[in-house]
Amino acid sequence: MSNPAAPGSVMRGAIDLSSLRNRPQTPTAPAQASAAGAASSLVFDATDASFGQVLELSRTVPVVVDLWAEWCEPCKHLSPVLEKVVVELGGRLVLAKVDVDANPQLAQGFRAQSIPMVVALVGGQPVPLFTGVVSEQQVRDVFAQLLQVAAQNGVTGVVPVEGAPVDEDPAETPLPPLHAEAFAAIEEGDYAHAADAYERALAENPRDADARAGLGQVRLLARVQGADLTAARAAAAAAPLDPEAQFLVADLDLSGGHVDDAFGRLLELFAAMPAEERAPVRERLLELFGLVGDEDARVIRARSRFASLLF
C-alpha cells in the first residue's frame, strides 16, 4: 500500500500491530465529537481491549487514529481539528481516539515516541500520516489523500451519520486557487510543481501560514521521495561529516516521526563542522524547526542546544 504524501508522513516500518489483532473485542461506548452536529458514530474512544474491532472496521471505512494524552497541550489543539474535519466528511472515514497513558499496548504497537501522533488504518494495515500539530487545511489535504489510498485498496464504505439527511454531501470550503494547484500537484507526486504553487501563494501573501507550511512539507517530501533508509544510514555512518548524507537521514527521521533523532543528528554535525562550513547545517536546522513548529517542546529543546553551540 502506498502512503499518502502528507505532512510529517512516510514513517517507514514504524508500526507493528500484530500483537493487537487477536485481542478480545470488548465494545466501548463512542465518545461524543466536539464539533457542532457531530455524530458519535464518527468519533469514538479506542482501547487496548477493543482495538480488534477498530481493525475490522478499517476493512470497511478508513479509520484515523489520534494518539493523545491529557497532559499533552498540542493534543488539545489538534484533536478538535481532527474531529471537525472527520465530521464534515460525513462518514467517509472515522476517528478513533487513543489515550496513550491508559492504553500502553496501543502506544507501543504504534511506537508513539511523541504525541500528538496521527496514523490511519486501511484494510487492517497502518498508514502513517503525521506527528505534531498541523493546520486545519493540512489535515484536510492529508485526509483527502487518505481517502484516495483507501479507494485504491477497495475500502470505500461510509458510516451512517446519526441525524444527517440521507445522501446529503457535507459542505466543503474550496481551497484558494494556488493551494488547490499545489494539492493537485501533490496528488500527482509532482512536488516541484507543488512547491512552485506555494511559492507563488507566498509571493501574493507573505503571511500565508498554510502556504509556508505546505512549501516546507513538499520540499521535505521531494527530498525523501524514493530514498532508502537503510542505504542512507549506511552512507551517513561512513561519512559523519558529509552534510548531504546527514541531511538525508535527518529528513527521513523527521518524516518518520523521529523528531529528536533528526534534530540531534544535525546538532552534532553542526558542532563538529568548522565554523566557516556551518551555514548549510544551520539553514537545514532552521527549516526543520519550522516544519515541526516553534511551540513544540522538541523544537524548544533543540533551539536551546543550538543556541549554546552558537555562543
Task: Spell out the domain ranges in the chain.
Answer: 18-152, 177-224, 229-310
Tell me the backbone φ, ψ of residue 31, rounded to 5 degrees.
-80, 145
- In CATH terms, the fold of domain 18-152 is Glutaredoxin (3.40.30)
Catalytic site residue from 14, 15, 72, 78: 72
Pairing label, strands 94-99, 125-131 = unpaired
CB count, 10 Å around CB of 113? Answer: 15
Between 237 and 10, where is the model more confident?
A: 237
Q: Do domains 18-152 and 229-310 have the same CATH topology?
A: no
Name the least confident of 8-17, 72-81, 207-216: 8-17
Average pLDDT over residues 165-189: 73
Which residues pair with residue 98 across a beta bridge? 67
For residue 28, the 8-state DSSP code is -
- The answer to whether residues 245 and 284 touch, using CB atoms and an 8 Å cutoff, is no
Going by C-alpha positions, the residue among 240, 280, 246 that lies closest to residue 263 is 246
- The answer to whether residues 24 and 119 touch, using CB atoms and an 8 Å cutoff, is no
- Rounded CA gap, 65 and 5, in Å? 17
How many residues are given for the chain?
311
Q: How far is CA 87 from CA 37, 68, 170, 180, 270, in A?
A: 8, 19, 9, 22, 45
Tell me the backbone φ, ψ of residue 131, rounded to 5 degrees.
-125, 140
Share of the chain above pLDDT 90, in %: 39
- The answer to whether residues 215 and 186 touch, using CB atoms and an 8 Å cutoff, is no
Residue type, 236: A
Given a cut of 50, whether residue 233 has pLDDT beyond it is yes
Catalytic site residue from 15, 46, 75, 115: 75
Q: What is the CA radius of gyration of the chain?
A: 20
Catalytic annotation on 261? no
pLDDT tens digits for range 123-149:
888 888 988 888 889 999 999 989 988
pTM, two decimal places: 0.48
- Rounded CA gap, 7 and 133, in Å? 10
- The answer to whether residues 246 and 265 touch, using CB atoms and an 8 Å cutoff, is yes
CB count, 10 Å around CB of 81? Answer: 18
Catalytic annotation on 75? yes
Between 31 and 259, where is the model more confident?
A: 259
Given a cut of 60, whether residue 28 has pLDDT beyond it is no
- In CATH terms, the fold of domain 229-310 is 1.25.40
